[in-house]
């Protein structure tokens, strides 16, 4: 790899490791220092590698520089506090300066990242802030990229991160894995954030396709870290990873070259990533232990059926029953709409129309799109009026494009 | 929004259905629950098994099963959210148990434990 692409590449993979280790070592009070040291390290790399060439082992170079900067910081801090302590209390000063070792071993990097994950996803931190902090600290995203993903500006993201860091400090959240009595509950919060991160990428209205894909794969990477650790390798974690693999397998097929959404029925299945589909199946199998049935298990099972393109009765009956159960665990408008679509496939359109009209999700354009589809072929006049209602509610050009095509098919 | 309990009553719990019939009822029941859950009105619910049950009477008399003396048995319950008892009764109308003659679903407002009940 040549220097121009090497540094951004290393930044993406190494920045977050250095920050996690230093932050764990310094505590949240010196979080900014940890970030500054990591940033300075890359700045120095950019300056010196350009002049002297790339060192034989660039990662080791980065770690050494970061370690030295961290040691200097700890040394200065100790000197300062001992001087202040001497001046104020005139007590004995420690006769020897302790050695400040910074442990950048793969084991400690992994542990620190996991511990940071649990700290950032602490229930007292607002969800939005958890996402922002995760992207910054755990994924090493730049402020600009985060702003881009949320379709907002850098100031907003900076303010949000600032408040979140303040909260981490004031609540004194420990940077550690929770004990076994607490872990399931805390893990739920971590999984919720990871899934939100994934969805942000998968369903985002941002036009930056590369960035969206990266968000998805970062979410999967974080989840994989949990799978790799004995304490956190629990059935719902495997279920979530499975679910994300199944979804991500369609990434290339669900957008055309203009960034427009391609509906499931119209996707080119040769673009589906079979490797990710088999990984999804693998983790789905891993999730089938214990007696806990999480919503991720159900969603992963639905996602599995979505990788089966054939329109069989068995498929739609299974999907319908999975949605019936999912909705009992957690209601969401989108699950209610998907359930009704599965109902139309399993029990017929007439029954689905009756059920759809009970939902009354009248501010949701997907609701009218569904009604339009259910009425298509049964009452095209009604179908058209529902599609038109959907058009007036749709917020993005992509959505309007999809609906408009359905209207056009109605006339032809 | 209130919570109502739908109590599913069977006229004759001893009736044996064929496995095929059971499967049809099972699907209908799951679709019925799914329909209520899709409207965001499902709170909780469960079936009550006929096996391994006792009835305890006045002065500590214990008999096997809910059958025998009483003809009617409770097969299950569901708690739903509804704006009125009429709305809750509409949910109850979809219950597959009602396909059996003499069966019924009782709709009862649940106490809120907020001092008003």
**Nearest CB partner across the interface for B34, out of A317, A327, A359:** A327
**pTM tops 0.80, yes or no:** yes
Tell me the pLDDT band of B21, cut-offs 50, 70 and 90: confident
Put simply, whether A327 touches B (Cβ < 8 Å) is yes
Q: With an 8 Å Cβ cutoff, are A339 and B38 in contact? A: yes
pLDDT digits (tens, 9 = 90+) for B69-95: 566 788 899 999 999 999 999 999 999
Closest-CA residue in chain B for A339? B38
Which long-range contacts does A193-197 make (Cβ < 8 Å, 24+ apart)? A193/A120, A193/A121, A193/A127, A193/A130, A193/A131, A193/A134, A194/A134, A194/A219, A194/A222, A194/A223, A194/A240, A195/A219, A195/A240, A195/A243, A195/A244, A195/A296, A196/A127, A196/A131, A197/A131, A197/A134, A197/A135, A197/A222
- Mean of the per-residue pLDDT values for chain A? 88
Q: Give me the mean pLDDT over the A22-36 stretch.
A: 91
Q: Which residues of A touch B93 (CB under 8 A)?
A: none
Question: Which residue in the set A321, A340, A347 is minimally distant from B38, CB to CB?
Answer: A340
**Which range (A26-35, A80-89, A371-380, B15-24) has the least confidence?**
A80-89
Shortest CA distance from A322: residue in chain B? B34
Q: Which of B37, B39, B40 sits opposite A324 (nearest CB)?
A: B37
In which band, very low, low, confident or very high, does the pLDDT at A368 lie, cut at 50, 70 and 90? very high
A319 Cβ contact partners less than 8 Å away, ≥ 6 residues apart: A302, A305, A342, A345, A346
**Residue-level pLDDT at A85:** 64
Establish if A68 touches chain B: CB-CB under 8 angstroms.
Answer: no
Q: What separation in angstroms does the CA of A248 have from each of A66, A335, B80?
A: 35, 19, 36
Of A13-27, A267-281, A340-354, B48-62, the poorest mean pLDDT is in: B48-62
| Interface contact A340, partner B, CB < 8 A | yes
pLDDT of residue A55: 93
Which of A324, A329, A332, A343 has the highest number of chain B CBs within 10 A, making it the mutation to test binding with B?
Answer: A324
Please give the tally of structural domains in chain B. Answer: 1
Q: A267 pLDDT exceeds 80?
A: yes
| Residues of A whose CB is below 8 A from B28 | none
CATH number of the domain to which B39 belongs: 3.30.70
Q: Which residue on chain B is closest to A337 by alpha carbon?
A: B38
Q: Is B40 on the interface with A (CB under 8 A)?
A: yes
Long-range CB contact pairs, B112-115, < 8 A, 24+? B112/B2, B112/B3
Query: Does B25 map to a domain?
Result: yes
Percent of chain A topping pLDDT 90: 55
Does B30 fall in a domain?
yes
- Cβ contact, residue pair B40, A336, below 8 Å: yes
Query: Which of A230, A234, A248, A161 has the alpha carbon at shortest distance from A191?
Result: A234
Residue B48 pLDDT greater than 80, yes or no: yes
Residue B103 belongs to what domain range? 1-49+83-112
Instruction: For residue A196, give every residue at least 6 positions away whose Cβ sits within 8 Å of its Cβ, in sequence order, or none.
Output: A127, A131
When pLDDT is averaged across residues A209-225 and rounded to a whole number, the result is 88
Instruction: Give B39's contacts in chain A (Cβ within 8 Å).
Output: 336, 358-359
Contact B35 A323 (CB under 8 A): no
* B116 Cα to chain A: minimum distance (Å): 29
CA distance to partner chain A, nearest, from residue B106 (Å): 21
State the average pLDDT over residues A89-117: 76
pLDDT at residue B70 in the model: 61
Task: Say yes or no: B90 contacts chain A, CB-CB below 8 A.
Answer: no
């Amino acid at each position: 790899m040549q220097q121009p692409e090497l540094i951004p590449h290393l930044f993406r993979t190494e920045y977050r490791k250095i920050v996690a280790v230093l932050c764990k070592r310094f505590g949240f009070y010196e979080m900014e220092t940890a970030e500054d040291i990591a940033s300075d390290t890359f700045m120095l790399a950019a300056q010196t590698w350009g002049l002297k060439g790339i060192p034989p082992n660039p990662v080791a170079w980065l770690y050494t520089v970061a370690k030295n900067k961290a040691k200097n910081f700890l040394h200065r801090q100790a000197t300062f506090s001992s001087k202040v302590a001497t001046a104020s209390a005139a007590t004995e000063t420690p006769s020897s300066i302790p050695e400040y070792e910074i442990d950048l071993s793969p084991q400690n990097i992994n542990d620190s990242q996991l511990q940071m994950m649990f700290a950032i996803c602490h229930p007292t931190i607002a969800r939005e802030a958890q996402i922002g902090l995760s992207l910054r600290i755990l994924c090493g995203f730049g402020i600009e990229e985060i702003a881009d993903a949320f379709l907002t500006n850098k100031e907003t993201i900076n303010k949000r991160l600032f408040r979140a860091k303040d909260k981490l400090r004031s609540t004194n959240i420990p940077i550690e894995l929770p004990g076994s009595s607490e872990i399931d509950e805390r893990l739920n919060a971590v999984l919720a954030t990871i899934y939100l991160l994934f969805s942000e990428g998968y369903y985002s209205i941002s036009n930056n396709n590369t960035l969206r894909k990266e968000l998805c794969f970062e979410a999967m990477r974080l989840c994989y870290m949990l799978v790799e650790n004995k304490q956190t390798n629990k059935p719902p974690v495997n279920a979530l990873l499975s679910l994300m693999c199944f979804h991500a397998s369609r990434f290339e097929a669900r957008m055309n070259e203009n960034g427009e959404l391609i509906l499931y029925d119209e996707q080119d299945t040769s673009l589906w990533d079979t490797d990710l589909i088999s990984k999804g199946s693998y983790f789905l199998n891993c999730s089938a232990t214990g007696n806990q049935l999480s919503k991720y298990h159900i969603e992963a099972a639905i996602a599995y059926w979505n990788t089966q393109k054939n329109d069989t009765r068995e498929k739609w009956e299974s999907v319908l029953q999975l949605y019936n159960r999912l909705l009992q665990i957690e209601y969401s408008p989108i699950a209610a709409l998907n359930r009704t679509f599965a109902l139309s496939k399993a029990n017929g359109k007439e029954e689905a129309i009756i059920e759809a009209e009970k939902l009354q999700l009248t501010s949701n354009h997907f609701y009218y799109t569904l009604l339009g589809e259910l009425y298509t072929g049964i009452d095209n006049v009604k179908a058209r009026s529902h599609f038109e209602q959907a058009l007036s509610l749709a917020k993005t050009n992509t959505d309007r494009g999809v609906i408009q095509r359905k209207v056009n098919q109605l006339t032809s | 929004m209130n919570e109502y309990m739908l109590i599913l009553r069977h006229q004759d719990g001893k009736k044996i259905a064929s496995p095929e019939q059971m499967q049809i009822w099972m699907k209908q029941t799951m679709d019925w629950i799914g329909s209520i859950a899709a409207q965001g009105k499902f709170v909780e619910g469960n079936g009550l098994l006929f096996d391994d049950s006792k009835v305890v009477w006045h002065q500590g008399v214990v008999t096997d099963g809910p059958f025998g003396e009483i003809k009617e048995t409770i097969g299950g319950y569901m708690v739903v959210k509804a704006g009125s008892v009429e709305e809750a009764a509409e949910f109850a109308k979809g219950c597959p148990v009602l396909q059996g003659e003499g069966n019924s679903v009782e709709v009862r407002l649940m106490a809120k434990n907020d001092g008003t009940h």
